[in-house]
Chain A
Amino acid sequence: KNEVEQSPQNLTAQEGEFITINCSYSVGISALHWLQQHPGGGIVSLFMLSSGKKKHGRLIATINIQEKHSSLHITASHPRDSAVYICAVGFLYGGATNKLIFGTGTLLAVQP
């Protein structure tokens, strides 16, 4: 079983739709990261969170530590949001907190 599970793997939405991507993890973490990667492009860090909720523009990230679950929401989606969204966790034990373990990513396509 993967330590970090993301769903869905693929997502197609119409412009303007509200989008949710989910991430579940199996052990205690120091922080959870949401990353964005455009095709052929580099990785951009969207959020880092260890509790509660963060908002940046049309993006919202939430985390529930007890349930070991995080969600990334995109409101009023736009074609430029089309990218791979990756959940990554830094594990709490073993002094390896800057070692990120990644989910497999969610490929989002927003159609006009």
Chain B
Amino acid sequence: KAGVTQTPRYLIKTRGQQVTLSCSPISGHRSVSWYQQTPGQGLQFLFEYFSETQRNKGNFPGRFSGRQFSNSRSEMNVSTLELGDSALYLCASSLGGDGNEQFFGPGTRLTVL
């Protein structure tokens, strides 16, 4: 069974631009969660999607948004990029029930110049 895939793996943008990251979950998984990892803040939860609906949301500004498609693939979007948005963005998929094990993708490394 293929693992969680994320595209692109690396991305360089400039301040003010917007970016869209993609995550394809493991086949059969209906939940996709997104996380941001930075040296200063560590890993932080962004949001979780389940059956095309946002189920949980972390403490991030409205510039961070996401969506999930009917095939469970998910995208996250960051608008008006700031230098502090430079980070490793990870997605994780799970079956979707409470406390299910999450399987992480390799991440997208975003650099904002």
Residues of A at the B interface (CB closer than 8 Å) are 30-31, 33, 35, 41-45, 48, 50, 86, 88, 90, 95-105
Contact = CB atoms under 8 A, between A and B. Distances in A.
Contact of A98 (B33, B43, B44): B33
B98 A30 contact: yes
B45 A104 contact: no
Interface residues of B, number: 26
13 contacts: A33-B102, A41-B106, A42-B107, A45-B102, A45-B103, A48-B101, A97-B98, A98-B56, A98-B100, A100-B45, A100-B102, A102-B42, A103-B42
A96 B104 CA distance: 18
Given A97-B98, A99-B56, 14 more contacts: A30-B98, A33-B101, A35-B104, A42-B90, A42-B107, A43-B92, A43-B104, A44-B104, A48-B101, A96-B56, A98-B98, A100-B33, A100-B45, A104-B42
B37 to A, nearest CB: 8
A99 B34 CA distance: 9
Interface in B19-72: 31, 33, 35, 42-45, 48, 50, 55-56, 58
